[in-house]
Structure 1
Amino acid sequence: MLSDLVEGARADAATRRENTPLSDLERAAADVAPALDALEALRPAEKVKIIAEVKRKSPSRGHLADIPDPAELASTYAGAGASAISVLTEERRFGGSLDDLRAVRSAVDIPILRKDFIVEEYQVFEARAAGADLVLLIAAALDQRRLHELHELVGELGMTALVETHDEDEVLRALDVGAPIIGVNARDLGTFELDPDLFGRLAGGIPGSVVRVAESAVKQAADVAHYRAAGADVVLVGEALVTGDPAARLEEFLAV
């Protein structure tokens, strides 16, 4: 599944490159307002912080929500206390787009994460040109040299990388490139099965100087509490928010 998602994202980026060459993106990225300080927004605090996600569908669950106005949803998230907004821009399996990210950027003044299967420089420049402050880099999708190169580019453009991991080796790889924010995704991207205890097993290997983000397997406040007790500074939540009352659920999660 992961290889299919990566190849699809690569093919879609190639199509966009035919209409917008990298040189145009580089100029656009230089012209947008500087990226917001995502590390400051997500740094550990007395209460857990939430990255709230704009997510229409997923390969594992299919259709989740229509979300005709991602800017309105993002504004709801921000008003309810989210520390950052994650915007899925993958088109084929998640129904997202860079237009969603641009719409959200125009509506909120908190950091925005471009969540996609990023494997090449073109996609990083796309993220910055669209107004992203954070970029997701999935360790399982990148060899170490590529992870290092893309992590460096994200920083050079003033953004912050959230490096996603799924096992001890990937945590070590994230630390090796100097990732300031490390996510642990409870969902296996090969089988899409969930392991809610994975974060707890890996969190001890992530230094306190690094922001620790728990991803996936959140349905209710008890799940957020489970991650918080295991050492999560931040929890990224999508499905549980878009399939219910976003503001009410977010407020419940932030009360943990």
Structure 2
Amino acid sequence: MGSLTEAAHERAALVASTLPELRAASRDLPPAKAFASALRRDCLAVIAEVKRASPSKGDIAPGLDAAAQASAYVAGGAAAISVLTEPTRFGGTLADLQSVSQAVPVPVIRKDFLVHPVQLWEARASGASAALLIVRSLSPDLLPRLVEAAQEAGLALLVEVRDEAELERALAVHAPVIGVNNRNLETLVIDPATAPRVIRQMPPHIVAVAESGMRSPADAQPAADAGADALLVGSAISASASPSDDVRALASIPRRARPAAP
């Protein structure tokens, strides 16, 4: 993950001077679609990801049409769309984010290694309603700075953690939507017990999102049992021949109330 974070700093430095133009472009857009409320459903909400490649799998769907794929997800009941914009290892672009934002009626998230406020304004100017922040990739002073920048830009956040210590950092910045990644971003190994364990520690008012390693309803059931509100699913459905059907199956899992953390 370190090299991707370093590359993100380099990409941000190249566009930092465009911040005034991005702010102006964002002011001309309609208000962002509500993100947290879109993930509160009777069944698990599905955040379906547009993903051409990944460091763990290589090429997944290199010829994928981002807008068409996102529309297929929405037809299957996706509550929100996640769009990878990292260019070197995930094959994403800001143009994908813009085309998806224009094509679907649900909130769209920019998923990338975001390390500078200019990247949040890029997301908003491209039509995103939300953006991902990875706690592990951000210093203790940078995380609250980016949370403040997102609020100024009118963006919601999905704040991603991997363990209880990172959960405490996310709660300290009052993140209303917190994702737990089953994948270790250093080793790329998936531990399916991670999200259920950490989600059980979240207060009931937090929207809890389980991420990575869920290809089927059976894979997602432990997260549902732990009180997850939503799933973020990428590789399996990006490579699927029937993405609408796969999203529909995941979106049919009943959501269970999460009891207060011990």
- TM-score band by shorter chain is over 0.9
2:28 pairs, out of 31, 44, 59, with: 31
> Is residue 2:260 matched to residue 1:246?
no
Root-mean-square deviation over aligned CA pairs: 1.2
Q: 1:28-67, CA deviations, whole angstroms, 9 ceiling, x for partnerless residues?
A: 1111121111111112x32111000000000010000124
* The 10-residue stretch of structure 1 (64-73 or 239-248) with the greater mean CA deviation from structure 2: 64-73
CA distance in 1, matches of 2:64, 2:236: 18
1:192 counterpart residue number: 188
User: Which letter does structure 1 place at the counterpart of 2:103?
Assistant: A
1:64-83 pair list within 5 angstroms: 64-83=60-79
- What residue in structure 1 maps to residue 162 of structure 2? 166
> Given that residues 164 and 185 in structure 1 are in contact (C-alpha distance below 8 angstroms), is that contact kept between their aligned partners in structure 2?
yes
CA contact (8 A) 2:52 2:64 kept: no
Q: CA deviation at 1:14?
A: 2.8
TM-score (norm 1): 0.95
Tell me, what secondary structure is at the counterpart of 2:103? coil
Alignment of 1:105-184 (within 5 A): 105-184=101-180
Could you tell me how far apart the structure 2 residues matched to 1:203 and 1:13 are? 32
Q: Scaled by the length of structure 2, what TM-score is found?
A: 0.93
CA distance in 2, matches of 1:59, 1:72: 24
CA distance in structure 2 between the aligned counterparts of 1:67 and 1:162, rounded to whole angstroms: 27
2: distance between equivalents of 1:148 and 1:84?
24
In structure 2, the residue matched to 1:255 is 252
Q: Structure 2: 5+ residue runs without aligned partners? A: 254-262
Residue identity in the other structure for 1:4: S
SS at match of 1:93: coil
- Deviations 1:172-227, CA, capped at 9 Å, x for gaps: 00000000000000001111111100012111221110000000011222112221
Contact 1:67 1:73 in 2 (8 A): no
Aligned-residue identity in percent: 44
Paired with 2:94 and 2:119, the residues of 1 have a C-alpha distance of 10
Mind listing any 5+ residue stretches in structure 1 that lack a counterpart? Answer: none
Q: Secondary structure at the match of 2:90?
A: coil
Paired residue secondary structure (1:106)? helix
Query: What is the rounded CA distance, in whole Å, between the counterparts of 1:101 and 1:159 in structure 2?
Result: 14
